Amino acid sequence: MKILAGDIGGTKTELAIFDAEQLATSSSVTPLFGMHFLNREQDDFISMLRNFMAQANIPVQAACLAVAGAVRDGRSRMPNLDWVLDEREIRIALGVEQVTLINDLAANAHGMLTLPPEQLMVINPGVTDARGNLALIAAGTGLGEAVLFRDGQGAYQVSASEGGHADYAPNNENEMELLRYLWSRFGHVSWERVVSGSGIVNIYDFLSHTGQYSEPAYVTSHILEATDRAAAITQAAQKGESHRCIEALDVFLHNYGAAAGNLALKSLATGGLFIGGGIAPKLAQHINKGGFMRAFNYKGRFSELMARVPVKLILEPKTALMGAAVYATKTTSH
């Protein structure tokens, strides 16, 4: 059986076709065919899907697509992209009966359980609780979360979440001012407004608004003109070109750690907290400097417990794609 797997994010989409038998029997699987798409260059998802299938020229019998949004009744309206995905429409386009939409963080969770140790970077070794829950947080175009609950029989049950859209909570005076600034722009301020690619830009714009940190004019000009402003801010910070960009990255990582700690605390993830998404691997050395973990552990009377939670960074960029394929093999009737 051939399975179509997809990872549909706010910015890009990965599609690939896998052999179900290989997925079930091998720990290292290469897709039979795969393609990468930039969503802004596509008219809509169905057109992109048909283009992919025409180029692949491999019939599939089932599909599982990870989507960056909540899935309800076989539909998902993506919050960071003007697309609505519908299982029924995809079934018709593919000409197959078995199509499943799954939240992208749930797919990441299924995929991360298959990763070898070399695809994980230890941020905090902690003390692993073999009977404890796991949690996953991933900042990219948006902010995703998932929880993996122990089922009492040695396995995990994956639960998707839209916790990235929960209310943002500042932890110091500067973050209080950041919240007020974001209130004036967006009304409701979620964690995603701070901990995401657009969050980096929002933090930078706030610092520019307050004029707290200096920056050379050429850096400001480059950032304002950049197609990907978050990447331009991050690069300027990593090169030490701008105090404003350095501070923006520090504020972002502090809040990323705080959000990750909140998730670990709410899910009691004593088995470990995993960091996914496209941003964190590019900032691995910055995360290791300590600001992330200081905010992660800063939970008052539960700070000691938090310090014992293992924290690991996922290095494999196609974890969600693999997770969708793995999920399909578990749920598809042969």
Mean pLDDT (whole number) for 91-98: 91
| Segment 124-135, tens digit of pLDDT | 999 989 889 999
Contacts for 57 with CB less than 8 Å, ≥ 6 apart = none
Q: How far apart are CA 101 and CA 91, in angstroms?
A: 11
Cα separation, 44 vs 289, whole angstroms? 41
Provide the pLDDT for residue 333.
52
- Which pLDDT tens digit goes with each residue over 48-81? 999 999 999 999 999 999 998 889 999 999 887 8
Burial 102-140 (b: 16+ CB within 10 A, else e): bbbbbbbbbbbbbbeeeebbebbebeebeebbbbbbbbb
pTM over 0.75: yes
**Closest C-alpha among 210, 284, 222 to residue 248:** 210
The predicted-structure confidence for 214-271, as pLDDT tens digits, reads as follows: 899 999 999 999 999 999 999 999 999 999 999 999 999 999 999 999 999 999 999 9
**Ranges for all domains in the chain classified under CATH 3.40.367.20:** 116-315
Between 325 and 27, residue with greater pLDDT: 325
CATH number of 2-105+318-331: 3.30.420.40
pLDDT value of position 334: 47
CATH 3.30.420.40 in the chain, residue ranges: 2-105+318-331
Pick the CATH number of 116-315 from 3.20.20.140, 3.40.640.10, 3.40.367.20, 3.20.20.70: 3.40.367.20
3-state DSSP helix/strand/coil percent for the chain, to nearest 5? 45, 25, 30
Q: pLDDT digits over 101-142, tens only?
A: 999 999 999 999 999 999 999 999 999 898 899 999 999 999
Residue with structure tokens 């941020």? Answer: 123
Whole-number Å distance between alpha carbons of 119 and 139: 18
d(CA 156, CA 136): 13
- pLDDT tens sequence across 148-176: 998 877 789 999 899 999 999 999 999 99
